[in-house]
Amino acid sequence: MSKPGNVVLLIEDEAKIRRFLRAGFEIHGFSVLEAESAAAGLKTATFNPPDLIILDLALPDMHGVEVLERLRSWSNVPVIILSVTSNEDEKVRLLQAGADDYVVKPFGIAELLARGEAALRRYFRRATENSVIVAGPLSIELASRTVSLNQTKIRLTRKEYRLLHILATHVGLVVTHDQLLAEIWSGNQRDNIQYLRTLVRKLRQKIETDPNTPRLLVTEPGVGYRLHSRLETGSYG
């Protein structure tokens, strides 16, 4: 979906990483802007708005979370975080502050591009109300609430559909436990993560070839769930 002309802004103080990112994004048709500090990044985002931002958390002049919060006060541009920590609380905090996704250093450029393109797709889909979402063998027609697996319609309960719908509108991106609980349940039920785990297990039984080794609806430990846009070969548990 990275049509030629998409502009990515890299906010990262390490020149070596910026060079690595620039090369990867340019090969995939992006135009690349660079900023080596938070201040420079916010200035560029304001005066030369990009389609996608890659934001390093550890910047010399400001923490990435603050950069993100400032950006989100006026912009919905997709933001992917570069993080050195695999700390789950921090990931959740970033997603709640409006990050679209994160990758943990060291990362592969393919992973980062996949996350970036998923965030762009989501951003453009919101704008165009695209009514069919495809994720591997799954196809979800939003208007008719029809779900097909390998071209065969499958029946989901209302809550199963709600869960799939939320994940599908973020296809390729992580969605937090809190976000899922809040959107599927009401009242004090929304604090019960066990409801969510049970619902995920039921949905997996309908959409996964092997529900015990999910390849479509995967767990992001301590953070939430992710619906892959295509079948993953690795097991994520």
Chain residues binding Ca ion by CB under 5 A are 13, 56, 58
Q: Which is nearer to Ca ion, 68 or 133 (CB)?
A: 68
Min separation Cβ 58 and Ca ion, Å:
4
Min separation Cβ 83 and Ca ion, Å:
10
Beta strands in the chain (DSSP E): 7-11, 31-35, 52-56, 79-83, 101-104, 132-135, 138-141, 146-149, 152-154, 174-176, 217-220, 224-227
Task: Identify the H or E element spanning 188.
Answer: none
Min separation Cβ 59 and Ca ion, Å:
6
Q: Which is nearer to Ca ion, 44 or 176 (CB)?
A: 44
Min separation Cβ 137 and Ca ion, Å:
39
Min separation Cβ 43 and Ca ion, Å:
18
Name the H helices within 73-157.
88-96, 109-128
Q: Which residue is nearest to Ca ion (CB)?
A: 58
224-227/217-220 β-pairing = antiparallel
Min separation Cβ 188 and Ca ion, Å:
41
Structure tokens at 29: 């048709």
Q: Which is nearer to Ca ion, 64 or 78 (CB)?
A: 64
Min separation Cβ 93 and Ca ion, Å:
18
Taking Cα atoms as reference points, which of 185, 169, 21 lies closest to residue 177? 185
Q: Which is nearer to Ca ion, 52 or 54 (CB)?
A: 54
Q: Which is nearer to Ca ion, 51 or 56 (CB)?
A: 56
Spacing of C-alpha 42 from chain mean position: 22
Amino acid residing at 77? V
SS3 content of the chain, % helix, strand, coil (to 5): 45, 20, 35
Residue 116 class from Cβ within 10 Å (0-12 exposed, 13-18 middle, 19+ buried)? buried
DSSP category for residue 58:
B
Q: Which is nearer to Ca ion, 82 or 184 (CB)?
A: 82
Q: Which is nearer to Ca ion, 4 or 60 (CB)?
A: 60
DSSP category for residue 138:
E
